[in-house]
Amino acid sequence: MNINATGLDFVDLNEALRQSRGNCNITHCLGQRFLAAGISDKTVTVSGVPGNALGAYLNGAKIEVMGNAQDAVGDTMNDGTIVIHGNVGDAVGYAMRGGHIYVQGNAGYRAGIHMKAYKEKQPALIIGGKAGSFLGEYQAGGTIIVLGLADNDKPIVGNFPSTGMHGGKMYLRSDCKDIRFPSQVHTHPASKEELDEIDHYLRHYCSYFDKDLKELLDSPFTVVMPDSRNPYRQMYVAN
């Protein structure tokens, strides 16, 4: 089913989407917020520019955006997949607790802020380009992958990555020589086993955006993890 979003506000557009049966194709989107929020059972394709909080609380549906998306994509999503054929704004994957987000291009500030995981709920955020500052701020769980495929001279991630990180894992496709990490995280070159852990994410990325897996892997990856030996050392008096 097709929905032309022209002239519809976000309430009307979301209502039309909920009433639709089966797969849905939204065209001429222009800033309508909360698109596909909380839905569990559809495949939604969006052309135009979806508004903030696209796929918030998403509960199993699949969203594919044929261009850029704005801020807070997948805010608190629980399950499902979001694929963005472009860049995203700030705070993509904000507090997501399940599901997968694939971004072809760059992400803004605070990507993956406060992602979390529990048992079978293992969210993943895959950013093809570069990420802004505060990547994975307060990350508590899940996997963040940044591939750095972008034509600019910026570093793969901006300032203050993984500030307050206390769980989960971050993979940066770079040797990260010029990146300053906070003292509470460890970084090391990714091992073969660690790369195997994210193999299926990389394969999906390549198939969504028509990239070559071999080329992706022909570059060092750095793994960032919280130093879990004594995470509260900085907070309490050592005695």
Partner 1 sequence: MLKREGEIRIPSGCAIAAVISKEGKGIRGDLISEAMKPMHDRSNGLGGGFAGYGIYPEMRDFFAFHIFFDHRSTRKECEALLKERFEIVKGELIPTRKIPQITDEPIIWRYFVAPLKSMLAAEQIDENEFVARTVVKINTQLKGAYVFSSGKNMGCFKAVGFPEDVGEFYRLEEYEGYSWTAHGRYPTNTPGWWGGAHPFSLLDYSVVHNGEISSYDANRRYIEMFGYKCTLQTDTEVITYIIDYLLRRQKLTLEEVASVIAAPFWSTINAKPEKEKEKLTYLRTVFSNLLITGPFSIVFGWDGGLMALNDRLKLRSMITAEKDDKVFIASEEAAIIAMEPEAENFYAPSGGEPVIVRVKEGKF
Residues that bind partner 1 (CB under 8 A): 9-10, 30-33, 48-49, 51-52, 68, 70-71, 87, 89-90, 106, 108-109, 132-134, 158-159, 180
Shortest Å, Cβ 184 to partner 1: 15
Can you tell me the distance from the alpha carbon of 28 to that of 152, in angstroms, rounded to the nearest whole number? 30
65 vs 202, which CB is nearer to partner 1?
A: 65
For residue 133 the two structure tokens come to 């500052």
Shortest Å, Cβ 196 to partner 1: 34
Shortest Å, Cβ 70 to partner 1: 6
34 vs 208, which CB is nearer to partner 1?
A: 34
User: Among residues 78, 99, 86, 91, which one has the least CA distance to residue 50?
Assistant: 86
Can you tell me the distance from the alpha carbon of 146 to that of 163, in angstroms, rounded to the nearest whole number? 16
For residue 66 the two structure tokens come to 């044929």
Shortest Å, Cβ 30 to partner 1: 5
97 vs 130, which CB is nearer to partner 1?
A: 130
Alpha-carbon torsion angle 128, 93, 68, 70, nearest 10: -150
160 vs 209, which CB is nearer to partner 1?
A: 160
User: Among residues 8, 140, 147, 123, which one has the least CA distance to residue 73?
Assistant: 123
